[in-house]
Amino acid sequence: MNILVLGSGGREHAITWALGKSPRVDALYVAPGNGGTEGVAKARNVAVDMMDAEAVLAFAREHAVDLVVVGPEAPLVAGVADELRAAGVAVFGPNADGAQLEGSKAYSKAFMAANDIPTAAYAQFDAAEPALAYVREQGAPIVIKADGLAAGKGVVVAETLADAEEAVRACFDGAFGEAGSRVVVEECMTGPECSLLCFVTNGKSFPMAPAQDHKRAYDGDKGPNTGGMGVYSPVPIVTGDEMAEMVRIMDAAAAATAREPFGLDYRGTLYGGFMLTPKGPRVVEFNARFGDPETQVVLPRLKSDLAEVMMAVAEGRAADVELEWSDAWAVCVVLASEGYPGSYEKGKVILGIEEAAALDGVTVFHAGTKTNADGELVTNGGRVLNVVALGETFEEARDRAYEACGLINFEGKQLRSDIGAKALRGRGAWE
């Protein structure tokens, strides 16, 4: 098999790394990739614009690509998978209609409402005045969401009415461009968050391991929201009943994708973002792709051949999807650039990755890195590296990850020192 992976983050490095282990894979291409993806056996980075479906298709034809794996949401929402499929290329990732489950909060909420999927109560608005009236009637705390894609910045969990009103006005004043021209207002839910990523094909869902992300920038869940500062899997604070309910909800969602009126022919990853509320698990959001950094702890625990799984998903062969998981614990700590998620400098030389990766159970996935003109590995983004460690226990995985983080250096290295700490204290830590 020749496989083309679209994307350039830690998620795409982890996917490329996992595909590289498959004996069925001959060549891997990553467009555009990063400083880590080109180090994966059989892989090379290629300068193809992943948003340009024609360019991707031309490359796929020229290099006899059997499968295209779409990493991020933007090309999915833009319909890149549709064009490739229409031309007869197998694709892992939903068509543009299925990607609306992530690309439009209003679509996603309507999908949940139509299929009795437990989620926060909501209302949607196309103008500021009725939205403000509704917010005042409901009171704080309340959640304001720009409808469209806003790079994770379009959600405000407002503790006061003033913050909620400001968030509504910001959306309609164009803070998120077209993405904010429609606003979803939601009931504020409470409880720990947990992600359950599932392979979905032909209306069937195949759950992967659960994972828990840390979205805030600083220790103690303080500071601004980020793309994710660290993650672990499995999630010890989830009860058996909660896990069963999350699996049931994902099964129901997958079945609904295949039915009218939705009829989405969804083939890829459906990411369920859950909140474990006192009334049971509720969906916070769906994503139409693998999570970043969730993938970096989920795929190292997958014992099955990812290339075979992805091909079966892409071809709609649900009966051929078989997943086997290791019992290992995985912890990922993100090393970020100073200033992230705000502005940051690039081009800082990175040292110590080889020493870190030589530790037992440690793998370093690259996110924002590149090789400069002098052949040095340098920082090239906000989230720079994902340091992942496997262990027989949660503590062992965590200690190894932090030991590895200590061996890696670049100017302005920023990390959270408490990834997994709350979960180690138990469910009571969320009370």
Residues 189-208 that bind ligand AMP (CB under 6 A): 189, 193
CA-closest candidate to residue 85, choices 95, 73, 97: 95
Nearer to ligand AMP, 91 or 250 (CB): 250
Q: Determine, following the binding rule CB under 6 A, whether residue 192 of this chain makes contact with ligand GLY.
A: no
Terminal C-alpha separation, the chain: 49
Distance of alpha carbon 353 from alpha carbon 24, whole angstroms: 29
Q: Determine, following the binding rule CB under 6 A, whether residue 102 of this chain makes contact with ligand GLY.
A: no
**Residues 208-237, mask of contacts with ligand GLY (x by CB under 6 A):** -----x--------------x---------
Which of ligand GLY, ligand AMP, none has residue 189 at its interface (CB below 5 to 8 Å by kind)?
Answer: ligand AMP
Distance of alpha carbon 363 from alpha carbon 330, whole angstroms: 10
Q: Which residue is nearest to ligand GLY (CB)?
A: 291
Quick one: DSSP state of residue 80? H
Q: Determine, following the binding rule CB under 6 A, whether residue 73 of this chain makes contact with ligand AMP.
A: no
Quick one: DSSP state of residue 431? -
What is the three-class DSSP state of 240?
A: helix
Which of ligand GLY, ligand AMP, none has residue 186 at its interface (CB below 5 to 8 Å by kind)?
Answer: ligand AMP
Of 86-94, 164-172, 180-188, 288-296: span binding ligand GLY (CB under 6 A): 288-296
Give the count of beta carbons closer than 10 Å to the beta carbon of residue 326.
Answer: 12
Distance of alpha carbon 67 from alpha carbon 5, whole angstroms: 9
**Helices H, strands E: what count in the chain?**
14, 21
| Contact between 191 and 275 (Cβ < 8 Å) | yes
Q: Determine, following the binding rule CB under 6 A, whether residue 71 of this chain makes contact with ligand GLY.
A: no
Of 177-185, 291-299, 328-336, 423-431: span binding ligand GLY (CB under 6 A): 291-299
Which of ligand AMP, ligand GLY, none has residue 98 at its interface (CB below 5 to 8 Å by kind)?
Answer: none
Q: Determine, following the binding rule CB under 6 A, whether residue 110 of this chain makes contact with ligand AMP.
A: no
Nearer to ligand GLY, 89 or 143 (CB): 143
Binder to ligand AMP among 147, 186, 242, 245 (CB under 6 A)? Answer: 186
Distance of alpha carbon 186 from alpha carbon 324, whole angstroms: 37
CA-closest candidate to residue 2, choices 19, 38, 26: 26
Interaction site with ligand AMP (CB under 6 A): 120, 143, 155, 157, 186-189, 193, 215, 273, 284-285
